[in-house]
Amino acid sequence: MTHTYIPHGVCSRQMNVELDENGVITNCEIIGGCAGNTTGICELVKGMSAEEAIRRIKGIDCRGRGTSCPDQLANALEEALEKI
């Protein structure tokens, strides 16, 4: 299942995540933002359960914004889990 999320308060413009039927992240793409960091985040979470990824990245802050690309990815994963 593929879920598209529009992040808020960060440089990235779109997040696409794919979860299998067990809630494991099979693919992740973040469009916009710091390419090296967002690509790295996606590579690190592939193969991880969405719940574990959320636990690890939810609440990370970027420059006092109150959110970050990892935090917004956690939001995207939470939404995607609701669809399974």
Dump pLDDT digits (tens) for 11-20.
999 999 999 9
Give the CATH number of the domain where residue 38 resides: 3.30.390
H/E run at residue 19: strand 12-19
Average pLDDT over residues 63-72: 97
User: Mean pLDDT, the chain, as a whole number?
Assistant: 97
pLDDT of res. 9: 97
Domain that holds residue 28: 2-83
DSSP strands (E only) in 8-73: 12-19, 25-32
Other CB atoms within 10 A of residue 32 CB: 14
Confidence of residue 75 (pLDDT cuts 50, 70, 90): very high
**Count of domains observed in the chain:** 1
Contact 2, 18 (CB under 8 A): yes
Is the pTM of the predicted complex or chain greater than 0.85? yes
pLDDT of res. 40: 97
